């Protein structure tokens, strides 16, 4: 699995969203490389890890990443949040958790209304088989829909999407199944480390109300809601997100 190291300071492991790769976090690296040592993961099937045989499943990926990174805070954006949250609940070397436009459960349920319908991921899976590139374009549009900086965010994501090659279609299907079937609310409620939840109030994929509800489940949680933010606030509101992450990681280092 490809893991790029950049910057200097307290370590932070970053896990990207569906169909992207570690390069998507460039706006954070540019702002914080003098304060944070980034460990930028390309999950299996994505980016420079496209041909890695490891399946895109939580436990196996977490074990591999933990074996190759130092004790650190972990940050997960969107799909990456499932890996980061599971690691934070089960892996002793995870010292803090940042959930960026991510929740323990991405689909609605009787007791979890602030999410998307299960059919959304099923439809993306069906469309991938018939129109691979068009489906990815539509997903990126959904990532940025509603944000006050939607055009700039969409342009950035499109430039990033294939910068390290095309993600493997079979792994994209695995990722959709993870988003559709995972429910890590019990793990969130059992967290024993500091955790920060960041939402975009205009996010159409992971509603801010769902992020707020997840933060209420977790002990020792902090929640930042970005008023004009969509699903990729670390692009459109990079300065605000970077400052919050820097303060959180610095606080962990000071408490160590």
CATH code of the domain in which 112 resides: 3.40.50.1820
CA 54/CA 104 separation, integer angstroms: 23
Distinct helix (H) and strand (E) counts, the chain: 11, 7
Distance CA 233, CA 208 (A): 12
The tokens describing 101, both together, are: 């436009």
**Per residue in 224-251, pLDDT tens?**
999 999 999 999 999 999 999 999 999 9
> Distance between CA 77 and CA 14 in Å, rounded?
8
Mean pLDDT over 175-187 rounds to: 97
Residue 255 pLDDT grade (very low, low, confident, very high; cuts 50, 70, 90): low
Q: For the residues 53-59, what does the mean pLDDT come to?
A: 96
Q: What's the pLDDT at 253?
A: 74
Q: Which residue range forms the structural domain that includes residue 213?
A: 3-255
203 in catalytic set = yes
Q: What is the DSSP secondary structure assignment for residue 52, as one 8-state letter?
A: -
Q: Would you state the pLDDT for residue 69?
A: 98
- Residue 78 annotated in active site: yes
Average pLDDT, the chain: 96
Q: E strand or H helix at 99, and its extent? A: strand 94-100
Considering the entire predicted model, what is its pTM? 0.97
Percent of the chain with pLDDT over 90: 96
> Tens digit of pLDDT for each residue in 197-209?
999 999 999 999 9
- Please confirm, yes or no, whether 250 is among the known catalytic residues: no
Residue 219 pLDDT:
95
Instruction: Tell me how far apart the alpha carbons of residues 253 and 105 are, in angstroms, rounded to a whole number.
Output: 29
Q: Per residue in 82-100, pLDDT tens?
A: 999 999 999 999 999 999 9
| Whether pLDDT at 184 is above 80 | yes
Residue tagged active-site, from 182, 199, 203, 223: 203
Count of residues making up the chain: 256
How many folded domains does the chain comprise? Answer: 1
Does 256 score more than 70 pLDDT? no
Catalytic residue from among 21, 39, 231, 237: 231
Catalytic pick among 78, 147, 182, 199: 78
3-state secondary structure of 117: coil
Q: What is the mean pLDDT of residues 55-76?
A: 98
């Amino acid at each position: 699995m490809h893991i790029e190291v950049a910057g200097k300071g307290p370590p932070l492991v970053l896990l990207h969203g569906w169909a992207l790769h570690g390069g998507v976090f460039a706006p954070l690296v540019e702002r914080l490389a003098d304060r944070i040592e980034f460990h930028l993961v390309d999950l299996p099937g994505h980016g420079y890890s496209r041909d890695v045989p490891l399946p895109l499943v939580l436990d196996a990926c977490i074990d591999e990443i933990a074996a190759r990174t130092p004790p650190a805070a972990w940050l997960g954006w969107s799909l990456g949040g499932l890996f980061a949250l599971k690691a934070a609940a089960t892996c002793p070397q995870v010292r803090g958790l940042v959930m960026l436009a991510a929740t323990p459960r991405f689909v609605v349920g009787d007791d979890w209304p602030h999410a998307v319908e299960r059919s959304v991921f099923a439809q993306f899976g069906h469309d991938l088989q018939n129109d691979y590139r068009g489906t990815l374009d539509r997903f990126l549009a959904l990532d940025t829909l509603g944000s006050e900086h939607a055009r700039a965010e969409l342009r950035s994501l499109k430039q990033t999407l294939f910068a390290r090659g095309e993600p493997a279609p079979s792994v994209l299907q695995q990722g959709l199944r993870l988003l559709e079937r995972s429910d890590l609310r019990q793990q969130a409620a059992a967290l024993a480390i500091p955790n920060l939840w960041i939402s975009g109030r205009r996010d159409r994929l992971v509603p801010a109300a769902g992020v707020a509800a997840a933060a209420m489940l977790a002990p020792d949680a902090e929640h930042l809601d970005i008023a004009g933010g969509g699903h990729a606030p670390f692009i459109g509101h990079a300065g605000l997100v970077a400052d919050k992450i820097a303060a959180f990681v610095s606080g962990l280092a000071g408490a160590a």
